[in-house]
């Protein structure tokens, strides 16, 4: 099981100028913020289930950028149908990384469906996202970097993570309008 925080930081270290990063509600947002403040980040702190459709809309609007979404198993499970939408309205510049710790850690570590019988890689494949795979080894971050920048998307990668609480690292602002305008300024420039 992978330690998610340093794993995300390794993926985002030396990030390229054409990358924009979105994160789903909860720990994923603290994870990407821990890798350093960047105007090209937009982190959800609410609206559970909306990060995948948001990333799809962004990827469709900015085909020359590479769009990377980090999100959790809880956020993903809330909108499984969005995988079918991603598959059937495909964008080649979108990578979804699901940091799957098999639990709702922030609320008290209740198990999610992936702690039971559900498998997000298979759900993604069954939804039609053919470039989907699972990683369990810390060294596989380089494979993910290759997918993000060089493979034809959409891609969905399940990263099996330890279910442990990590320090909260807050974004530039909790005000959504400040966050989105700052993020959009990184696209206009």
Partner 1 sequence: MTGINKDWRNDIYVVFKDLNITMVSHVPDAGHTPLINLCEKDNEIDVVTLTTEQDGVGLSCGAYAGGRKSALLMQSSGVGNCINALALPNICRIPFLTIVSMRGEWGEFIPWQVPMGLGTPKVLEAMDIKVFRADYKDEVGSTVDAAARFAFNTNRSAAVLLSQKMIGAKQFKNG
Residues interacting with partner 1, by CB under 8 A? 22, 42, 44, 46-62, 79, 81-82, 84-85, 88-89, 175-177, 179-180, 183-184, 187-188
Give one DSSP letter per residue of 93-143, joined into a string: TEEEEEEE-SEEGGGT-EE-GGGTT--HHHHHHHHT--EEEEE--GGGHHH
Are 44 and 24 spatial neighbours (Cβ–Cβ below 8 Å)? yes
| Adjacent-strand bridge partners of 70 | 23, 97
Q: Which is nearer to partner 1, 125 or 143 (CB)?
A: 125
Residues in CB range of 140: below 8 A, 6 or more apart: none
Joined tokens for residue 56: 């799809």
- What is the rounded distance in angstroms from the CA atom of residue 60 to the CA atom of residue 67? 10
Neighbours of 132 (CB within 10 A): 23
Q: Which is nearer to partner 1, 88 or 146 (CB)?
A: 88
Q: How far is the CB of 94 from partner 1 (least distance, A)?
A: 10
Look-up of token digits 């994160």: 23
Q: How far is the CB of 1 from partner 1 (least distance, A)?
A: 29
Q: How far is the CB of 142 from partner 1 (least distance, A)?
A: 28
Q: How far is the CB of 184 from partner 1 (least distance, A)?
A: 6
Q: Which is nearer to partner 1, 51 or 103 (CB)?
A: 51
Q: How far is the CB of 108 from partner 1 (least distance, A)?
A: 21
Q: Which is nearer to partner 1, 168 or 180 (CB)?
A: 180
Q: Which is nearer to partner 1, 93 or 166 (CB)?
A: 93
């Amino acid at each position: 099981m992978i330690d998610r925080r340093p794993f995300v930081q390794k993926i985002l270290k030396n990030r390229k100028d054409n990358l924009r990063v979105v994160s789903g509600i909860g720990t994923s947002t603290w994870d990407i913020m821990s890798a350093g403040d960047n105007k090209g980040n937009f982190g959800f702190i609410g609206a559970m289930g909306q990060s995948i459709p948001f990333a799809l809309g962004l990827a469709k609007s900015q085909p020359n950028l590479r769009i990377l979404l980090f999100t959790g198993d809880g956020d993903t499970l809330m909108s499984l149908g969005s995988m079918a939408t991603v598959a059937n309205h495909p964008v080649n510049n979108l990578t979804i990384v699901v940091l799957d710790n098999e639990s709702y850690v922030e609320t008290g570590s209740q198990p999610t469906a992936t702690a039971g019988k559900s498998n997000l890689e298979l759900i993604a494949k069954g939804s039609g996202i053919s470039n989907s795979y699972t990683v369990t080894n810390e060294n596989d971050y380089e494979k993910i970097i290759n997918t993000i920048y060089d493979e034809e998307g959409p891609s969905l990668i399940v990263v099996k993570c330890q279910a442990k609480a990590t320090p909260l690292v807050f974004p530039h602002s909790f005000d959504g309008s400040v966050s989105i305008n700052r993020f959009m300024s990184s696209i206009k420039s």
